[in-house]
Structure 1
Amino acid sequence: MQTHSKWLSVIAGAGYSAKTVMYTMLGVFIISSAISALGSENTTQKHVFETIQSQPYGQVMLIAVVAGLICYALWRWLQCVLNTESLDMSKAKDVIMRVFLFVSGLIYLIAAYLGIKVFTGDDSSGQGGSDSQQMTAQLMQYEWGLIIVGAGAVAIIAFAFIQFKHAYTADFIKKFETERLSQGAQEATRKAGRVGYTARGVVYLLVGSFFAFAALNQDASEAGGLQKALETLTEQTFGQYLLGAVGVGFVMFGIYCAFEARYRRT
């Protein structure tokens, strides 16, 4: 049992470390876009992978990040299968959380696949619209596709409000081995998590709204992901400040993930 627990900690730690890199770099790119007013065309996961690969020993670093994302996907599935969060299957919200853990693993596995494509030089993605728009258009070709897009929109919006809940209550601190954290480290974790979850909530709320409009209007072009969410923020009054705030939030979430990599209870 102790050996199994150690392996779970290693897998989870590698996954949260990869998230630290991803969110910190995305946050830096977003802040840079806000400062330079160049827009958000480069604030994507693909650009993160390309930037990592362009560094000295970049291919080794990229493979390490991809491996970390695969570990995180595996960790999410282990959380689902082994019920590491002690979820009560007689409660609807806990059943939904268990399903979310599986879906979360799938999302991060897709992110790892994108990193592999960058590593191999496969530049076929992003042709003829965003990935979100292409996926939505393909789904809408089927009678049941519109229902899936609508259900996905509801799920993403619900997830956004879960992020806001975490930010408000700071309940995420219960996931940590607080006995190993000093009072100052606990406070830093709490602040980083609150700011980070708020930024994620804003982005997910926008993305969910895009998919909802796409479903309601039966128009795949209205769908969008992170890049469209950031572009939408930029178009608002004080848009650059909003964009910068989200960038800071992503950096803070990266810092929070670093605390998770070291101190999260597995």
Structure 2
Amino acid sequence: MDAQQETREAAQSRWMTGLARTGLAARGLLYVLVGIIALQIAFGSGEKEADSSGAVQTLAEKPGGIVLLWLIVVGLAGLALWRLAEAAFGAAGPGGHKPSKRLLSLGRGVFYIGFFVTTLLFTIGAREKESSDEKSKDLTGRAMHDVPGGRWLVLLAGLVLVGVGIGMAWRALAKKKFMEKLTVTGHAREVVEKLGMTGRTARALVYGTAGVFLAYAGISFDPDKAEGVDGTLREFATTPAGPWLLVAVALGLVTFGVYSACEAKWRQVTPGNNPG
């Protein structure tokens, strides 16, 4: 048996699929916590950032929270390995062999590697968790000042993020593509579909709005205009709808967290299992 075949078998093993499902459950927990923090902000009692850093810090302060943090670290490692395996052998589900889907899995794998590293360092006490707003402003400022044409790259990145948000919402509401990867049947399938449509649309709204702020930062040549997840969510409370738009989005993020738990149970996660 050659090395490639051994790697493929490892990627399709029960421990890999178990890691992937653990990661999806961990992602769900983080979204539920972000949504709860956003609800607290809407009602004037939120002190933490409504993003992954706030969620991780919330867990760290709870009795037994360190156990959950380590489970999340393992889950993030699982998500990273799973996505990289999909990039190598094809994403699970219909059409997963397509280069576009494999490239998307690669990008997600790289993202989860970074998320895993920062969460691990926070868990072992080697580093403070940086908020999404700080990261966004820092990276935007570096791009603008250190990269030739960085201002226009920031604008382009913002427009791409807006497009991603619109595409995510369209796929969730009109195409319901996410259901193709789930094995759930019967009445539960109808429930999961509604959870996915609601949660994925809320997440898409956050992505798209963050893209608007990033594009505005490029146009105005001001990195402070860029917002991370926390800043984007807080901006919803400043609209004419008042805090109620933020409440709606926050509940949507909690719903996405519940939907992620459904994915942990019913999603196809075996890399290379990609008919069509």
- TM norm structure 1: 0.87
Give the aligned partner of residue 18 of structure 1: 26
Give the aligned partner of residue 107 of structure 1: 111
Give the RMSD, CA atoms, in angstroms: 2.3
Deviation at 1:88, TM superposition (A): 5.9
Superposition map of 1:124-203 within 5 A: 125=130, 130-141=134-145, 142-168=147-173, 169-178=175-184, 181=185, 183-203=186-206
CA gap 1:39/1:236 in 2 versus in 1, 3 angstroms: farther
CA gap 1:240/1:233 in 2 versus in 1, 3 angstroms: same
Distance 1:102 1:40 in 2: 35
Once the two structures are superposed, residues 54-99 of structure 1 have per-residue CA deviations (whole angstroms, 9 ceiling, x without a partner) of 222222221110110121122122222211243464xxxx62x433
Give identity over the alignment, percent: 25
What runs of 5+ residues in structure 2 fail to find an aligned partner?
1-7, 270-276
Give the aligned partner of residue 59 of structure 1: 66
Deviation at 1:199, TM superposition (A): 0.4
Superposition map of 1:91-102 within 5 A: 95=100, 97-102=101-106
Once the two structures are superposed, residues 220-256 of structure 1 have per-residue CA deviations (whole angstroms, 9 ceiling, x without a partner) of 1111111111121110012211111111111111111
- TM norm structure 2: 0.84
Answer whether contact 2:155 2:214 (CA < 8 A) is retained. Answer: yes
Amino acid at match of 2:182: F
Give the aligned partner of residue 80 of structure 1: 87
Distance 2:164 2:154 in 1: 15
Once the two structures are superposed, residues 40-59 of structure 1 have per-residue CA deviations (whole angstroms, 9 ceiling, x without a partner) of 75312111111111222222
CA gap 1:7/1:162 in 2 versus in 1, 3 angstroms: farther
CA gap 1:155/1:100 in 2 versus in 1, 3 angstroms: farther
Answer whether contact 2:118 2:129 (CA < 8 A) is retained. Answer: no
Distance 1:124 1:25 in 2: 16
Distance 1:8 1:118 in 2: 25
Deviation at 1:203, TM superposition (A): 0.4
What runs of 5+ residues in structure 1 fail to find an aligned partner?
none
Corresponding residue to 1:9 among 7, 14, 17: 17
Distance 1:184 1:81 in 2: 35
Answer whether contact 2:91 2:102 (CA < 8 A) is retained. Answer: no
Amino acid at match of 1:212: A
Give the aligned partner of residue 238 of structure 1: 241
CA gap 1:2/1:132 in 2 versus in 1, 3 angstroms: closer
Greater Cα shift, 72-81 or 38-47: 38-47
Give the aligned partner of residue 272 of structure 2: none
Deviation at 1:263, TM superposition (A): 0.7
